[in-house]
Structure formats: C-alpha cells, structure tokens
Structure 1
Amino acid sequence: MPEELQERTEQATPRRREKARQKGEVPRSRELTGIIGTWMIFLYFVFSGTFLISIMQHMKEAFTRVKNPEFVASAIITIIKDEIKWYFIQFLPIGGVLLFGVLLVHFIQTGFLFTGATLVPDVSKISPLKGIKKLFSLNALFETIKGILKLVALGIVIYFVLKKDVNILPLLIDMDVKAIAGISFQKIYQLILACLIMLTVFAGIDFAYQRWQYERNLRMTKQEIKEEFKETEGSPMVRARIRSLQREMARKRMMQEVPKADVVITNPLHLAVCIKYDSKNMNAPEVVAKGANLLAERIKEIARASGVPIYENKPLARALYRIPLGEEIPEALYKAVATILATVYKIKGRQIA
C-alpha cells in the first residue's frame, strides 16, 4: 500500500523526534510568547510605579522649555538628541525585560534549541494548493473558533469590570483632575489585569493544542517504522553480512591459537580439535580451536607447519568437538586427554602437572 494512503497510527520514534527537532520543528505557541512578554511589561510597570509619573513629568518639563520666551530655535536639534537619549535610557529596562520574557518562553516551549534550518527558504511552502488546504484545515477551524471565543470573553470581562463602577461616572464631574486620574488609572489597571488573566487561559489552551497538533503531525505509518528500523538496525542482507564478518574475525582469532596448542586430535578426515593445557593458569585442558571438513584440514596444515603433534582418535575427537571454544574439557574425558598429553610431553621432555 502506498505510504500516503496509510494511516499515521504509530507514535513517533525518538529518532523521528530528533530529526524534527534538528529541522526546528517543535511545538510552539505564538499566543504563549505574546502573553508572557505582555505580562513581563505589565509587571515591570506595576513594580516600578514611578515610571509613568517620571515620563509625564519629563514631557511636561520639555514642553515648558519650548514655551519659554528665552528658547532659541537653533537649539532644537540638541534638545531632540537629548530627548532621544533620555527616552532610550528609560525604555532600555523594558527592552531587557521583554527580551528575558521571549527567551523564557522559548526555553519553556523548546528547551535549548538553536538551529538555522528554519532560516533556509522552503520553496515547497509557496504553494497555492497548500494555501487553500490550510484555509479549510483543522488548524484554521481552531484559530477561527478561538478568535471568536476570545472576542466574546474580552467583551464579558470588560463588561463585568466596568459594570460595578457605572454609578461613579456622574461623580467624576465634581472631582479634581488628580482624583479623576487616580480613579482612571485604578480602573485601567483592573481592566488590563482581568484581560491578561483571560488571555493567559487562552494562551494555555493554544499551547496544549499546538502540542497535540505537533504529536499528531509527527505520527508515523507502520511502513515508516519498518523503514526506520532498517536504517538504524540494518537490512537483513546487511545484518547477514555483519554476522559473516564477525564469524570470519572469530575464525581468524581461533586459527591464531592453533600454533599455541599442545596437540591436535582428529577423527581423522572430518574433525580437528586443538587442546592446550597450562597447569599454572588452567584447572583442566581447554579446547582452543576446532573445525570440520575444510576448516579441519586448514587446522592440520597450520599444526604441521608449527610443529604441533596430530593424534587420531575418532571417539575422542567427536566428544571434544561438542565442547564450546575456550571451555575446559569435562571430567569424563580427563583420562583419555591426559594419556595423549603425557605422550606429547614425553616427546617434548615436559611433564603433566
């Protein structure tokens, strides 16, 4: 079945997730980024209470200087430069707070991720067909419903915040400017705080949806799982080749043990088993190499070239051949092997310990 017709029912593998992350494809919510940045600026204004007052006082002083009869028009450039510098210094902390907020939300959503993959233009994205599909996608439907609900929620919040203070409006006529400003700032603060709380709820919903959508888009078909397994673990042919190479390497290591053996016991045509015994390091003789047919012939050739004695004993050769490489011979074969080793050592002038 073609891959595009298969359902993406499987959870994404760690490798698929890592590939997507390297491309910059991570779940992120613009709503969350915006609301955290707004919260940071709002809290900055709240806890630095004198900021707005100092701005207003400075503006008042600036207008007073300009209205002064002694003001020289030629000094306007200097004043503008001074004003720009002053406002830059005043708003610099806000920029720092905003930058911190952006970095914070980036870390919350994606962790430590810095990639240039998203900066590379993707021509495939400039597709009229894809653009039309996006208009009728699940994501577009979600954004539409979210936008409508957000407008309704904002209206409800504004209504309930201002409703209880409607009776105060007629009283403002008899108040001085300072009192009116105080009440106005208080209501603006309450309104902004209520709206921010409401928008934070929507940002949380959007973030949860973006994560769900990300997981949904990252799902894989069964065929993709199989293909990835082949890539990571290797195809059956590759695995067979690896096993073949491993056997070849093991065989070479085994053949290097033949010249070190004390004796080669054969049956004599089909089997050859190399026995080694070191009384200082071994509890019993060990099988250090073995082979059948052509490999047995090769073992005998190396043994002859290395001066290793070859003894024919069919029953013993068959019994020894069943023992795994590097293993000690069983107690039942001690006597038969010891007899052969005694003969070999007698010729070489050695003794069995």
Structure 2
Amino acid sequence: MFLRLDLQFFAGEKTEKASPKKRQDSRKKGQVAKSQDINTAISLLAIFGFLSIGASFMGTSMFKLFQHSLSSYTLMPVTESNLKTIVFEIMEQLIYILGPVMFVALIAGVAANYMQVGFLLTGEPIKPKLEKLDPIKGFKRIFAVRALVELLKSILKISFVGAATFIVLWANIDQVLKLSFKPVIDALQVVGALTLQMGIVASAALLFLAVLDYLYQKYDFEKSIRMSKQDLKDEYKNTEGDPMIKSRIKQRQREMAMRRMMQEVPDADVVITNPTHFAIALKYDEEKLDAPYVVAKGADYLAQKIKYIASENEIMMIENRPLARSLYDQSNIGDPIPEEFFKAVAEILAYVYRMKNKM
C-alpha cells in the first residue's frame, strides 16, 4: 500500500524536462522566458547613445522653436485660425525633434524582444482572467518567492543605478562645483553632458543586471514547465493515441485484410503447399497482369484455412515444398510472383489446366 503511494507520488513529481509540444503550447499562450529589464536597459542605452550623437541638433532645433515662438507667436492676435496654426506648427516641430528618439526607442524595444523570444504574436496574456481577482491568490503572490526576488532585483537596480550616477558625478566634481560661476548656456551644456554620461553608465549597469535577470527568468521558466512522468505518458497518449486502442485497430485491420484475402481464394487457379506449414494461392489473368500473382498466402493456421477453402471450392492443390517456402518469403499478396519462379509456376499451371480440361 505504502509502496504504491510512493510510486504515485514520484510519478506525479515534475522532474522531467518539458517536451517540444509542451514548449510549443506554452509559447502559444505567451509563456516564454523573458526579462522586461532587458527591454528597458537596451531601450535606455539606445536612447542615450542616440542623444550623445544628436543632442546638439535637438538642442539647436529646440532653441529655434522657442526663439520663433517668442518672436512670432506672442505677437499674433488670439483667433481661432491663429491658434490652429500655432498648434500645428509646434506639433510638426516636436515630431521633427522627438520623432527620431521615439523611433530609436521603438526599434530597440522590438530588437530586445526579438532577441529573447523571436517572433511571437499572441493575445493570450492580455485576456481578462477572473482568477487574477482572487484575493487569496493575490495575497499568496505578495509573499511568494518570486515577489522576494523582484524586491531584491529592485534594490539591486536602485543600488547599481545610484552607484553609477554617483561615480560619474564624483569623477566630474570639479565641473559640478564650478557650475555656479558659469553662464547659463555653458552650465546647461555641462549638465547635459553629465546627464548623458550618467544615462549611458546607468543603462550599462542596468543591462548587466538585466542579463542576470534573464538567466534567472529562463531557469524559473524551465522549472515552471517541467513535466512529471505521468504527464509525458498522457501527452504521448493524446498525440500518438492509446497503445491499446492502436493495437486493437491494427488487429481489426489484420482481420479485415484476412477476410478479403480468404474471399479471393475461391478465384485462384492453384494452391501450392508445403503440406503442413505453408500455402500460397496463385491466379493467372492475362488481362490484369502479365504474370501469375499471389491471391492469398499463409502459414500454419492460415495455411490450413486456405487449403480448406480451396478444397471446398475444388481448387487444385499442388505440393511443392521448396517453391511454397520461397513464394511465401519473397512474394506479397496482390503482386506478381518473382521472375525466377516463372518456369516452375508455369509448369504447375500447365498441369492444372490439362487436368481441368480432362475433367
């Protein structure tokens, strides 16, 4: 009794790697190994990298927009048409200035997702599920191991980003202390350069943590989709079919083939036998095939049944042990006999036809 319970327990324990079908089904549901921090880190790194190249262009364009606004828009009368003109012109300039940054962020986000999970399009994760509103399950999620891991990740991210920005500021402490003595434009340039440096360094630190998080997410995902031995057996039954049912189907197919074969025996011209073990029924129909072909064949019990049906239908039986054994091994039902047996079979058929004519 206890041994049976132990076996059932181990059979239900999820210790096996997920099968390809389980992985495919999980992927269709949107369940994949993915770290959101990878997307954030790569997007930030791409944005700050782009800003380090195009910040001067964006600053110049923004300065011209403010200059034009103060010199032109403030002098225009407040009318409906003028307001429309101002709004459309400002929107056009903002798209021209911020559009490249947004495009870079979009490309970086798509690339980060593709690197992790490839091409995947599914709406399963955004479907509303009532079980998510269960307060008991929500309470369990708060105090689960995953929640503690997420808390640890947040602390590490704050620590790494804070340390990265502090290192950049400490390395440029002289410039920071001199900001109060510089003109506004020069001070803004220094602040902008420091901001870009801090952004790039912080993004690189965040990317390092994101890679570690991705490795953890992959491990956790593999663990979550593990299967038990019973799961593998059930999956095999569902995909390949129950072995007992398959064996029954094969048995029924063999029985049907046997019945069809036995129905052809009365049309045979001759049955060649090895007295007790083999029987091969042959027929020659020049309109169907150029050579005699096998109508039925069998060994032991089937051979006896073929001979019984042949005797009931007055089909002549010829005993030829080597020929019967060779035909049984080298010919298939419905196929013409092999060429090396043409002469021997032709002599037998000639004898059979002579005997029929005499009768």
- What TM-score comes out, normalization by structure 2 length? 0.78
Q: Does 1:38 align with 2:47?
A: no
Q: 1:151 aligns with which of 158, 167, 173?
A: 158
Q: 2:18 aligns with which of 9, 12, 18?
A: 12
SS of the counterpart of 1:323?
A: helix
**Which residue number in structure 2 is paired with residue 343 of structure 1?**
351
Q: Secondary structure at the match of 2:102?
A: helix
Secondary structure of the structure 1 residue equivalent to 2:328: coil
Deviation at 1:252, TM superposition (A): 5.7
Structure 1 residues 302 and 19 mapped into 2: Cα distance closer, same or farther (>3 Å)?
Answer: farther
Could you tell me how far 1:223 is from its partner in structure 2?
Answer: 0.9
Query: Match of 1:210?
Result: 217
**Larger displacement relative to structure 2 (223-232 or 152-161):** 152-161
Provide the C-alpha distance between the structure 2 equivalents of 1:82 and 1:336, rounded to a whole number of angstroms: 101
Gaps (5+ residues) in structure 2? none
Q: Which of 126, 131, 138 is the equivalent residue of 2:133?
A: 126
SS for the counterpart of 1:73 is coil
Task: Give yes or no for contact 1:288–1:325 (8 Å, CA) kept in 2.
Answer: no
Classify 1:334/1:61 alpha carbon distance in 2 versus 1 (closer, same or farther; 3 Å): closer
Number of equivalences? 340
Give the equivalent residue in structure 2 for 1:274: 281
Structure-2 separation of matches of 1:125 and 1:95:
33
Q: Provide the alpha-carbon RMSD of the alignment.
A: 3.9
Distance 1:37 1:105 in 2: 8
Deviates more, 1:123-132 or 1:243-252: 243-252
Distance 1:256 1:321 in 2: 24
Counterpart secondary structure, 2:131: helix
Q: Measured at CA, do residues 96 and 303 of structure 1 come closer, stay the same or move farther in structure 2, by a change above 3 Å? A: farther
Aligned mates of 2:110, 2:203 — CA distance in 1: 20
Alignment of 1:73 onto 2:78: yes
TM-aligned CA deviation for residue 338 of structure 1? 7.3
The change in CA–CA distance for 1:164 and 1:99 in structure 2 (over 3 A counts) is: closer
Q: Secondary structure at the match of 1:211?
A: helix
Percent identity (aligned) = 32
CA distance in 1, matches of 2:129, 2:9: 23
Deviates more, 1:209-218 or 1:103-112: 103-112
1:195 and 2:202 equivalent?
yes
The verdict on how the C-alpha distance between 1:128 and 1:28 changes in structure 2, with shifts beyond 3 A counting, is same
Measure how far apart 1:198 and its partner are.
0.4
Q: How does 1:43-192 map to 2 (within 5 A)?
A: 43-49=49-55, 50-67=57-74, 70-74=75-79, 75-192=82-199
User: What is the letter of the counterpart of residue 198 of structure 2?
Assistant: L
What is the CA–CA distance in structure 2 between the aligned matches of 1:98 and 1:116, rounded to whole Å?
23
SS at match of 2:32: coil
